[in-house]
Amino acid sequence: MATEANTILELDDIQSGVLRPRPTPYAATYIVLRIDDCKAGRELMRRLSAVVTSAANPTSPLADTWVSVALTYTGLNALGVPQESLDTFAWEFRQGMSARAKELGDAGESSPENWEKPFGTPDVHLVIVAVSPDTQRLEAALHRARKTYQEMRGITAIWRQNCHALPTEKEPFGFRDGISHPAIEGSGIPGTNPREQPFKAGEFVLGYRDELGGIQIPQPEALGRNGTYIVFRKLHQRVAAFRQYLKANSTSPEDEELLAAKMMGRWRSGAPLALCPFHDDPDLGADPRRNNDFLYGEDDPAGFRTPGGSHIRRTNPRDASIAGVARIHRMIRRGTAYGSQLREGVLEDDGVDRGLIFAFVGAHPGRQFEFVQSQWINDGVFFGAGEAKDPIVGSNDEGGDFTVPRRPVRRRLQGLPRFVVTRGGEYGFMPGLRALRWLAELQT
């Protein structure tokens, strides 16, 4: 059991995908399934429980392929989980993502009626993510896995998205991603910022004490314990529009790179402005011991290095002075790029769908994901910037504002377009391994 001073996480019961970062590079695929027959769904749970890896033992029974499984609210319902149990899950999860569109800024092109089907419908029941070091190994594993559900009547695969992480870990706008991860007490897996205190396990895993002293656990305990919530969103990135904006608002290629870095808070290499404010430093960007070792409060309270409005300072203000407490809004991210890259230097849109499958992991979808999306990304009040949204991922449908603190006068950019469009997504519950078996054995 969990104790406050010395948390013992039951790593052998927690899905590996919750706590362990993915290998680099990798190929991944998201598969969405619909369960039309609850007996078949339970049998699928049984088969999946044999292939999902635990955080204690990273060796996968599927050789080089790691599988994670999450169920939506309608998915738990389709398996026949009793209503009194369903009622104990987080409120946002029970609503489903499309019902939360207004709070998430999913309006206009991003609104659920424009999402890719089946998103925004009650058909999304089960999400399987398979990750492998390369496409060949992934396809071989999927070929074997496909047999499992194709032979089963009452289970239908309704959506699939292939994704990848490049050796450079660059996302489609060209920035290195996957740098900042929190440390979790009892996991034995280090975080990436030596100045950040490890978080109570209950922030990320259900059934343990969290930063506020509470323990969240859906009932019965056999189902809720060692599970967590995930949020996944297909986010289309307008790479050509982003490049055009940088060019139109800069005087030289160097100036473009500086503006891009000010918007992100990091240079494209991943090097943080906090540690190298004037020019990129690719060695620093690639060095995991140094590239996340910084705070804002003492060195840069006014944002002369890292603007308060930049993507990374908004989504994790660290020790900067803001309204509220930053620590209770931290999250684990497992973002993965999809679609081919837009060739270097091209400014015209080539019509290819590319972007990020954004994935959040955490025990509090409301105060973690939804709060960050609505209050920090799509509002600026928390750090005194009025309604200004995130310059890169904000829902800037009416032309956004972005301020770069500078001496002698700040630079204010206006008319920022929306660079990221939501194509769909859903909230999921990632059960522990024993809970997968509990689901398989449901009798109702």
Query: What residues line the site for ligand HEM (CB under 6 A)?
Result: 171, 173, 175, 177-180, 235, 237, 264, 266, 311-312, 315-316, 331, 333, 355-356, 358, 369, 372-373, 377, 393, 420
Neighbours of 302 (CB within 10 A): 13
Give the separation between CA 265 and CA 273, rounded to whole angstroms: 6
- The closest alpha carbon to 142, from 71, 72, 64, belongs to 64
For residue 224, the minimal CB distance to ligand HEM (Å) is 24
Nearest-approach distance from CB 294 to ligand HEM, in angstroms: 9
Minimum distance of ligand HEM from residue 290's CB (angstroms): 13
Query: Taking a C-beta distance cutoff of 8 angstroms, is the pair 176, 170 a contact?
Result: yes
In the complex with ligand HEM, the residue whose CB is nearer, 216 or 269, is: 269
Which one, of 99, 124, 21, 30, lies nearest residue 356 by Cα? 30
Residue 104 C-beta: closest distance to ligand HEM, Å = 9
Return the closest-CA partner of residue 413 out of 428, 427, 425, 403: 403
CB atoms under 10 Å from CB of 295, counted, come to: 15
Residue with Cβ nearer ligand HEM (138 or 312) = 312
The residue assigned the tokens 């489903």 is 96
- Looking at the Cβ atoms of 60 and 422, the one nearer to ligand HEM is 422
Q: How far is the CB of 175 from ligand HEM (least distance, A)?
A: 4
Q: Which is nearer to ligand HEM, 110 or 373 (CB)?
A: 373
Q: Give the Cα separation of 105 and 110 in Å (integer).
A: 8
Nearer to ligand HEM, 131 or 337 (CB): 337
Supply the minimum distance, in Å, between the C-beta of residue 40 and ligand HEM: 34
Instruction: Please identify, using beta-carbon distances, which residue of 67 and 393 lies nearer to ligand HEM.
Output: 393
Secondary-structure breakdown of the chain: helix, strand, coil percentages, each rounded to the nearest 5 = 30, 20, 50
Closer residue to ligand HEM, CB minimum distance, 419 or 438: 419
- State whether residue 327 is helix, strand or coil: helix
Nearest CA to 192 out of 97, 307, 272, 124 is that of: 272
The rounded distance, in Å, linking the Cα atoms of 126 and 41 is 9
In the beta sheet, which residues pair with residue 234? Answer: 357, 424
Between 206 and 393, name the residue whose CB sits nearer to ligand HEM. 393
- Whichever of 163 and 356 has its CB closer to ligand HEM, that residue is 356
Q: Measured from the CB of residue 173, what is the shortest distance to ligand HEM in angstroms?
A: 5
Candidates 71, 61, 185; CA nearest to 432 is: 71
Q: Specify whether the CB–CB gap between 53 and 69 falls below 8 A.
A: no
Q: Is there a contact between 403 and 386 (Cβ–Cβ < 8 Å)? A: no
| CA pair distance 217, 201, nearest whole angstrom | 13
Q: How far is the CB of 320 from ligand HEM (least distance, A)?
A: 11
Helix axes 433-440, 38-49, angle to 10 degrees: 150
Provide the minimum distance between the beta carbon of 105 and ligand HEM in the complex, in angstroms, as a whole number. Answer: 10
For the chain, count helices (H), then strands (E): 14, 11
